[in-house]
């Protein structure tokens, strides 16, 4: 079965000829990541923490104000004007919520954050508690600097891992505990600097020890020391290039799937970072969704086409961005609990709207049919039909550099302008009076509470950061170093170990010589193997 062809037929749209990675890049340019800003709420004048900076072209309201008082302007459709020109005239006047997410407690410094409690400086998470400096996590508790990880506790620098406990710096691991610096280990405990192990305990560098021997060797490693931790990480990076076996693509408990980093999925083609989903194609970052095509970030949703951030039980969504608990929406942005809306922005709990104006159901269906017929005749400057295109890049609420696209596909300023994306307004932040990170003690056990009163400056990121009381407590409890940089820097370093650029490349299995497809960079050739060869190698 040609999954993509079947999906295009289901949505009754002409198949796109644009490469999937370009679709992902355009949609990802709309998804805010990797920054939080102190700014003013445009409704109340109060200071808020938002993912949208002061140069955002949309009015930004605190989400509580937006939910209670959303009443954006309306417009009548003018058939003599270009479609997207009319949308921009209206949309950039429509207030938007200062962040994305719902049902959180004490999570002010987060974004794209859902059903969580006591979390700080974290992005893109669901059902977490007491997590700091994390990105794209689910079901984590008492963790720091974890990315793309799930259902774990008391972990630091967990990367693409699940079901771990008291584990430090683990990549592609499952059900590991009381361990550090692991790669692709399953159900392992009390292990150090190990790779490709299964059901092992008391191992160092893949060498088996007795319990007594292991404890003697383990005592030589002091990961609470920043100097020791950094040396251990350097050693681990060398192991990743010279010793481990990399499985070409990761599909776990999948049926009829093609892609990478997908788990418990069925009938999915060219999908990446996807879980518990079915009948999807060209889909990046999804959870428990089905019948989604050319889509970015959707969870608990169905029938989403060419959209980004159709979240939390959405249904029948096309050409939309940031719609939550919505149904039957097209060409709409920043809407919550809406149904049957076309070309709308900033609505809460509305039905049967066009350009934010309400109609009777009968009138709405008639007018939408007229608009679609007109859009199918309208063409852009390149001669492409307007209906079926996603919003132009300047509709994005954030700059390209602060988007997910800016991480996966970095572009220079001129390239960003050529593609029509928002360019970051650069301003040098004054940093006189900040302390140097070199003043942070080598170990949390050498620090006292006074360190929490200092402001430090990350010269690489050109950003300030602080050590919080939680950081001090966490570092002592878990015997890890204190943070010594702006949090996004470490998140990006960890996330860069999950290889993705929107495509799979052809290489050769290091063990069998057969041709295989992978997302792993060429620098790792010689250690990349087919699924079958990999399964013979793991211990």
Q: Convert 291-304 into a string of H (helix), E (strand) and C (coil).
A: EEEEEEEEECCEEE
Using one digit for the tens of pLDDT, what is the confidence trace for 55-66? 999 999 999 999
Using one digit for the tens of pLDDT, what is the confidence trace for 46-89? 999 999 999 999 999 999 999 999 999 999 999 999 999 999 99
300: region left, alpha or beta (phi > 0 left; psi from -120 to 50 alpha): left
Does position 377 have pLDDT exceeding 80, yes or no?
Answer: yes
- Please, which pLDDT band fits residue 112 given cuts at 50, 70 and 90? confident
For the four alpha carbons of 464, 460, 471 and 163, in that order, the dihedral sign comes to positive
Distance CA 530, CA 507 (A): 10
pLDDT of residue 101: 84
pLDDT of residue 425: 81
- Please, which pLDDT band fits residue 395 given cuts at 50, 70 and 90? very high
Distance CA 250, CA 482 (A): 33
Give the CA distances from residue 373 to residues 10, 134, 268, 316, 448, in Å, rounded to whole numbers and listed in that order: 20, 45, 32, 19, 68
Q: If you ran DSSP here, which 8-state letter would residue 244 be given? A: P
- Of 102-111, 427-436, 486-495, 510-519, which gets the smallest average pLDDT? 427-436
Does position 239 have pLDDT exceeding 90, yes or no?
Answer: yes
- How far separated are the first and last CA of the chain, in Å rounded? 35
Strand 96-97 to strand 60-61: parallel, antiparallel, or no bridges (unpaired)?
A: parallel
Using one digit for the tens of pLDDT, what is the confidence trace for 166-188? 999 999 999 999 999 999 999 99
Instruction: Determine the average pLDDT of the residues in 310-327.
Output: 95
Burial environment of residue 516 by CB neighbours within 10 A (0 to 12, 13 to 18, 19 or more) = buried
pLDDT of residue 432: 77
Mean pLDDT, all residues of the chain: 95
Looking at 312-403, which runs of residues are DSSP E strands? 315-318, 321-324, 327-330, 333-336, 339-342, 351-354, 357-358
CA-nearest of 1, 13, 2 to 304 is: 13
Percent of the chain clearing pLDDT 70 (strictly above): 99
Distance CA 364, CA 125 (A): 36
Distance CA 480, CA 490 (A): 14
Report, in angstroms and rounded to the nearest whole number, the Rg of the chain calculated over CA atoms: 24
List, in order, residues 6 or more apart from 366 with CB less than 8 Å away: none
335, β-bridge pairs: 323
Distance CA 434, CA 429 (A): 12
pLDDT of residue 252: 87
- How many other C-beta atoms are found inside a 10 Å radius of the C-beta of residue 75? 16
pLDDT of residue 100: 84
pLDDT of residue 1: 60
Instruction: Determine the average pLDDT of the residues in 398-412.
Output: 94
pLDDT of residue 34: 80
Strand 463-465 to strand 456-458: parallel, antiparallel, or no bridges (unpaired)?
A: antiparallel
Does position 218 have pLDDT exceeding 90, yes or no?
Answer: yes
Q: Are the CB atoms for 365 and 353 separated by under 8 Å?
A: no
Using one digit for the tens of pLDDT, what is the confidence trace for 192-215? 999 999 999 999 999 999 999 999
Using one digit for the tens of pLDDT, what is the confidence trace for 423-480? 988 766 667 789 999 999 999 999 999 999 999 999 999 899 999 999 999 999 999 9
Q: Which residue has the higher pLDDT, 433 or 290?
A: 290
Distance CA 18, CA 460 (A): 36
């Amino acid at each position: 079965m040609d999954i993509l062809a079947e999906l295009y037929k289901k949505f009754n749209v002409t198949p796109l000829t644009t490469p999937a990675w370009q679709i992902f890049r355009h949609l990802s340019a709309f998804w805010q990541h990797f920054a939080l800003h102190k700014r003013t709420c445009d409704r109340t004048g109060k200071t808020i923490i938002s993912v949208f900076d002061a140069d955002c072209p949309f009015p930004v309201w605190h989400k509580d104000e937006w939910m209670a008082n959303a009443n954006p302007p309306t417009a009548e459709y003018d058939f003599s004007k270009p479609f997207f020109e009319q949308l921009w005239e209206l949309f950039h006047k429509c207030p938007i919520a200062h962040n994305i997410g719902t049902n959180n407690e004490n999570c002010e410094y987060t974004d794209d954050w859902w059903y969580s409690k006591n979390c700080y400086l974290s992005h893109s998470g669901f059902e977490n508690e007491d997590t700091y400096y994390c990105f794209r996590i689910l079901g984590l508790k008492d963790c720091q600097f974890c990315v793309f990880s799930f259902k774990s506790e008391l972990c630091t620098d967990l990367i693409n891992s699940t079901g771990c406990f008291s584990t430090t710096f683990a990549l592609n691991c499952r059900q590991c505990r009381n361990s550090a610096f692991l790669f692709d280990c399953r159900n392992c405990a009390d292990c150090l600097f190990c790779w490709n192990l299964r059901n092992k305990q008391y191992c160092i560098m893949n060498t088996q020890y007795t319990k007594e021997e292991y404890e003697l060797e383990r005592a030589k490693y002091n990961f609470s020391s920043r100097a020791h931790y950094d040396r251990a990480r350097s050693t681990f990076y060398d192991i990743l290039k010279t010793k481990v076996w990399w499985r070409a693509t990761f599909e776990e408990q999948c049926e009829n799937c093609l892609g990478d980093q997908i788990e418990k999925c069925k009938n999915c083609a060219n999908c990446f970072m996807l879980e518990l989903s079915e009948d999807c194609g060209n889909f990046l970052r999804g959870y428990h969704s089905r019948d989604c095509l050319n889509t970015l970030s959707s969870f608990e949703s169905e029938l989403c086409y060419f959209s980004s951030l159709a979240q939390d039980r959405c249904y029948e969504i096309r050409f939309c961005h940031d719609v939550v608990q919505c149904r039957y929406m097209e060409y709409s942005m920043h809407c919550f609990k809406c149904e049957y809306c076309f070309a709308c922005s900033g609505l809460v709990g509305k039905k049967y709207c066009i350009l934010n104006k309400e109609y009777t159901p009968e009138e709405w269906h008639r007018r939408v049919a007229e608009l679609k017929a007109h859009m199918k005749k309208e063409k852009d400057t390149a001669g492409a039909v307007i209906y079926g295109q996603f919003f132009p890049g300047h509709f994005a609420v954030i700059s390209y550099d602060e988007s997910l696209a800016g991480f996966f596909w970095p572009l220079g300023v001129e390239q960003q302008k050529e593609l029509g994306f928002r360019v970051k307004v650069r301003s040098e932040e004054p940093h006189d009076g900040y302390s140097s990170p070199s003043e942070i003690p080598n170990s949390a056990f050498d620090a006292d509470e006074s360190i929490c009163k200092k402001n430090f400056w990350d010269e690489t990121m050109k950003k300030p950061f602080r050590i919080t009381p939680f950081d001090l407590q966490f570092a002592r409890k878990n015997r890890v170093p204190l943070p010594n940089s702006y949090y996004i820097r470490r998140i990006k370093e960890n996330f860069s170990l999950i290889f993705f650029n929107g495509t799979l490349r052809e290489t050769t299995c290091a063990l069998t010589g057969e041709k295989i497809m992978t997302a792993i960079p060429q620098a790792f050739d010689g250690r990349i193997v087919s699924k079958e060869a990999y399964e013979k190698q793991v211990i």
